Amino acid sequence: DDDDDDDEDGTATEGDLGLPEETMMKLRQAYRPVIVCVNKVDLVADDDGDNIVEQNNGEKKKKSPSSSVYVNTPAKAVQTIQKWRSALPDAFAILPTCAADGPNDPGVVALRSILLANDPNVDVGSAIRGLGRPLPAMFAATK
C-alpha cells in the first residue's frame, strides 16, 4: 500500500508529513508547546465518498464545503491527525482547520484562542468546544 509510509515502530516518516527529519527532530525536542494545524480538511475526502450524504428521499448529495468539517471530519483528515500525533506525541494540539472559511472557522478560532489564552477576554474552552467532539489524537494524552 503506497499510503503506508510509517516506520517499523508505527511513527510517520518525514516524507509522509512533508517535513525534513531535521525539522521533525526540532519539533520533537522543542521546549515550548507545539501546535499542528491540519489545513484544508474540507478537500481531502472527495475521492472516496466521505463528503457524500444520503438525503431522506434516498438521493445522494455532496456536503457543502461550509458544513462543519469537525462534526463529520473526513476519514483521511482523521488519519492525518493520527499520523501527526504518532510523529509528535507530545504536541499540545493537532487541530483540523479550513482557513478558506476565514477567521471564523472553528479550527482557526481554536488556534487563535489557544495562542491568546492569557487574554482574560478569550474563552479557550468555548473555542475548543466549537470544534465539536474531539477526534482521537487531537489533544495530547494527559500524563
Task: Give the pLDDT confidence of 101-127 residue by residue, as tens digits.
Answer: 888 888 899 999 999 988 888 888 888
Q: Report pLDDT for 136.
A: 76
Say what the pTM is.
0.66
SS3 for the chain, per residue? CCCCCECCCCCECHHHHCCCHHHHHHHHCCCCCCEEEECCCCCCCCCCCCCEEECCCCCEEECCCCCCCCCCCCHHHHHHHHHHHHHCCCCCEEEECCHHHHHHCHHHHHHHHHHCCCCCCCCHHHHHHCCCCCCCCCECCCC
Task: Give the pLDDT confidence of 55-104 residue by residue, as tens digits.
Answer: 455 555 555 444 444 445 677 888 888 999 999 998 999 998 888 888 88
